[in-house]
Amino acid sequence: MSILKVIEVMADSSKSWEDAAQKAITEAGKTLNNIRSIYVKDHSATVNKNKIVDYRITAKISFEIEKKHG
């Protein structure tokens, strides 16, 4: 049986919401193993001179908790 843990993260990108989501996974993957999914809960953006300059997401990342043997 697998047990998953869920954390909430925020990330941003100057390219797209998809890139912000990938950045969240890449950064979380530096300290977490067995990432299973990402659920993008919220999208937002900052605008300057009628142009989107920063894409932001709030997301939940789930990962499997490693079992200790012994």
H or E element at residue 18 = helix 17-28
Q: How many beta carbons lie within 10 A of that of residue 6, not counting itself? A: 11
| pLDDT tens digits, 5-49 | 999 999 999 999 999 999 999 999 999 999 999 999 999 999 999
70 lies in some domain? no
Q: How many structural domains compose the chain?
A: 1
18 lies in some domain? yes
| pLDDT tens digits, 39-58 | 999 999 999 999 999 999 99
For residue 57, what is the domain's CATH number? 3.30.1660.10
